[in-house]
Amino acid sequence: MRAVDVIIKKRNGNALSREEIEFFINGYVNGDIPDYQASALLMAIFLKGMDSRETADLTLAMVNSGERVDLSAIKGIKVDKHSTGGVGDTTTLIVAPLVAACNVPVAKMSGRGLGHTGGTLDKLESIPGFRVELTRDEFIAAVQAVGLAVISQSKGLVPADKMLYALRDVTGTVPSMPLIASSIMSKKIASGADAIVLDVKTGSGAFMSTVEDSFALAREMVNIGERLGIRTTALVTDMDQPLGMAVGNALEVKEAIEVLRGEITGPLADVSLTLAAYMLLTAGACRDVEEGRSMAEEALASGRGLKKLGDMIRQQGGDPRVLEDTSLLPGARTVIPVKAGQDGYISSMDTEKIGISSLVLGAGRTKKEDPIDPGVGLVMRKRVGDKVSRGDILADFYVNNEAAFPEAADIFRAAVRISAEKPESRPLIFGAVTRDGIKHLGFKP
Is the sign of the CA dihedral 243, 244, 247, 250 positive or negative?
negative
d(CA 149, CA 285): 19
Closest CA to 415 of 351, 328, 343, 326: 351
The one catalytic residue in 108, 112, 187, 231 is: 187
Residues 6+ apart with CB under 8 A from 97: 148, 260, 305, 306, 308, 309, 312
The one catalytic residue in 108, 112, 116, 168 is: 168
Asked if 127 and 319 touch (Cβ cutoff 8 Å), the reply is yes
End-to-end Cα spacing for the chain? 55
Does the annotation mark 213 as catalytic?
Answer: no
The amino acid present at 309, given as its one-letter code, is L
Listed in order, strand segments (DSSP E) in 10-118 are 79-83, 106-110
The one catalytic residue in 161, 199, 311, 350 is: 161
Asked if 257 and 387 touch (Cβ cutoff 8 Å), the reply is no
Strand order from edge to edge, sheet including 377-380: 246-247, 377-380, 393-399, 334-339
d(CA 176, CA 234): 19
The one catalytic residue in 154, 182, 183, 272 is: 183
Does the annotation mark 187 as catalytic?
Answer: yes
Does the annotation mark 168 as catalytic?
Answer: yes
- Surface-to-core class of residue 323, CB atoms within 10 Å of its CB (0-12 exposed, 13-18 middle, 19+ buried): middle
The one catalytic residue in 82, 112, 353, 382 is: 82
| Residue 386 main-chain phi, psi, to 5 deg | -75, 145
d(CA 281, CA 285): 6
Which residues belong to the active site? Answer: 82, 161, 168, 183, 187
